[in-house]
C-alpha cells in the first residue's frame, strides 16, 4: 500500500500514521520528523530549515524532494509506505509522481483528514511530545499517565517551537495558500478520499480503515 496521509497541521496525520504502521506494517515517512531531526543534529539541512519551520513557512521544494527520494529507496519501503506531510505543494506532488514512476510503482490512495480550524488550533497548542522516543500526547485529549512525563520512557515532555499559537495560525494560512491546491491535483487522478478527522483517534482510524477497505473491495 503506497499511501499519502494528507491534511492541515494538527489534522492527526502523525497520530494515524502510527496506527497504520501497527495495522499494515507500512513505515511512516514524515518530512517534518526528518527535518526536526536534522535541526536537532545541527546539520547544514537543519540549520537552513530551522528558521523557516519556526516561522510557519515551507522549506524549499528541492530540499524536501531530495529527502523523500532518498527515503523511498530504503528497503523498508519496498512493501509500501505512508507519507505524512509530503507533498505540500503541487511541484512536490509532481516530483513524487516522477519518483514513483522511476521505481515502477504508483500511489494507491490519498486520504485527506478534514478538521475545522479552531479544533486544529486547540490540538496543536495542547500538543506535547517526547524528545527521546517521539511519542505524541495532548494536554487534555491524550494526556500522559504522569503529568509532563512520557509513558514509554519517562522523559520530560516538550512543546514544539512551531506550536506557539501565532505560529500555528501562520502554518494554517500557509496550508490554505500552498498545500490545499494539492487536493485538486489528486482528485483529478481519482486518488483522493476525504475522511472526517474529528472525534477520537480510534474513531478516525475506523474511518480510515473503511476508506482503505473500499479501495480493495
Ligand atoms: P510537520 O511536522 O509535517 O507538521 P504539520 O503538517 O504541521 O503536522 P503536525 O505534525 O503539526 O500535525 P499532524 O497532522 O501530524 O497531527 P498530530 O497527529 O501530531 O511539518 C513541520 C514543518 O516542517 C512545516 O511547517 C514546514 O516548515 C516543514 N515541512 C515539513 N514537511 C514539508 C514539506 N513537504 N515541504 C516543505 N516544508 C515541510 O496531532 C496533533 C495533536 O492533536 C496531538 O497532540 C495529538 O495527540 C492530537 N490529536 C490527534 N488526533 C486527535 C483526535 N482525533 N482527537 C483529539 N486529539 C487528537
Longest Cα–Cα distance in the chain: 48
Confidence of residue 214 (pLDDT cuts 50, 70, 90): confident
For residue 35, give the C-alpha cell.
527535518
The response to whether residue 15 sits with its C-beta less than 6 Å from ligand 1 reads yes
Which residue has 494538527 as its cell numbers? 10
For residue 146, give the C-alpha cell.
504522569
Alpha carbon of 120 to ligand 1 centroid (Å): 10
* pLDDT tens digits for range 117-152: 999 999 999 999 999 998 899 999 899 999 999 999
Q: What is the mean pLDDT of the chain?
A: 95
Looking at residue 56, what is its pLDDT?
97
Looking at residue 134, what is its pLDDT?
87
* pLDDT tens digits for range 6-38: 999 999 999 999 999 999 889 999 999 999 999
Alpha carbon of 8 to ligand 1 centroid (Å): 7
Least Cα distance to 123 among 136, 141, 106 occurs for: 141
Using the predicted structure, report yes or no on whether residue 195 has a pLDDT greater than 90.
Answer: yes
Looking at residue 137, what is its pLDDT?
92
106-127 average pLDDT score: 96
Looking at residue 213, what is its pLDDT?
85
Confidence of residue 216 (pLDDT cuts 50, 70, 90): very low
The response to whether residue 144 sits with its C-beta less than 6 Å from ligand 1 reads no
94-108 average pLDDT score: 96
Least Cα distance to 92 among 119, 125, 136, 58 occurs for: 58
Verify whether residue 127 is a known catalytic residue.
yes
Using the predicted structure, report yes or no on whether residue 180 has a pLDDT greater than 60.
Answer: yes
The response to whether residue 128 sits with its C-beta less than 6 Å from ligand 1 reads no
Confidence of residue 217 (pLDDT cuts 50, 70, 90): very low
177-195 average pLDDT score: 97
Q: Which atom of ligand 1 is nearest to the CA of 127?
A: 44
Verify whether residue 13 is a known catalytic residue.
yes
Alpha carbon of 203 to ligand 1 centroid (Å): 18
Question: Which domains does the chain carry?
Answer: 2-115+177-213 (3.40.50.300)
For residue 69, give the C-alpha cell.
527520494
- Residue 176 DSSP symbol: I
201-217 average pLDDT score: 85
Verify whether residue 183 is a known catalytic residue.
no
CA distances from 48 to 35, 44, 55, 92 (A): 10, 6, 12, 19
CA-CA distance, 64 to 45, in Å (whole number)? Answer: 10
CA-CA distance, 50 to 187, in Å (whole number)? Answer: 32
CA-CA distance, 37 to 52, in Å (whole number)? Answer: 15
Report the C-alpha dihedral over residues 193, 198, 202, 204, rounded to 10 degrees.
0
For residue 165, give the C-alpha cell.
499559537
The response to whether residue 59 sits with its C-beta less than 6 Å from ligand 1 reads yes
The response to whether residue 182 sits with its C-beta less than 6 Å from ligand 1 reads no
102-121 average pLDDT score: 96
Q: Which atom of ligand 1 is nearest to the CA of 89?
A: 35
Amino acid at each position: 500500500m503506497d499511501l499519502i496521509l494528507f491534511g492541515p497541521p494538527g489534522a492527526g496525520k502523525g497520530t494515524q500514521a502510527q496506527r497504520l504502521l501497527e495495522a499494515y506494517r507500512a513505515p511512516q515517512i514524515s518530512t517534518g520528523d526528518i527535518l526536526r531531526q536534522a535541526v536537532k543534529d545541527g546539520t547544514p539541512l537543519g540549520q537552513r530549515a530551522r528558521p523557516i519551520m519556526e516561522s510557519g513557512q515551507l522549506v524549499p521544494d528541492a530540499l524536501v524532494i531530495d529527502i523523500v527520494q532518498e527515503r523511498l529507496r530504503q528497503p523498508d519501503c519496498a512493501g509500501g509506505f505512508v507519507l505524512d506531510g509530503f507533498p505540500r505543494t503541487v511541484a512536490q506532488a509532481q516530483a513524487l509522481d516522477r519518483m514513483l514512476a522511476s521505481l515502477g510503482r504508483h500511489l494507491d490512495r490519498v486520504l485527506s483528514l478534514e478538521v475545522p480550524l479552531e479544533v486544529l488550533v486547540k490540538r496543536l497548542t495542547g500538543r506535547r511530545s517526547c524528545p527521546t522516543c517521539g511519542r505524541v500526547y495532548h494536554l487534555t485529549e491524550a494526556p500522559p499517565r504522569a503529568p509532563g512525563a512520557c509513558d514509554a520512557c519517562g522523559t520530560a515532555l516538550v512543546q514544539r517551537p512551531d506550536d506557539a499559537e501565532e505560529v500555528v495560525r501562520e502554518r494554517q494560512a500557509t496550508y490554505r495558500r500552498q498545500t490545499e491546491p494539492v487536493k485538486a491535483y489528486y482528485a483529478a487522478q481519482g486518488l483522493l478520499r476525504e475522511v472526517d478527522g474529528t472525534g477520537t483517534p480510534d474513531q478516525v482510524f475506523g474511518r480510515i480503515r473503511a476508506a482503505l477497505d473500499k479501495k480493495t473491495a
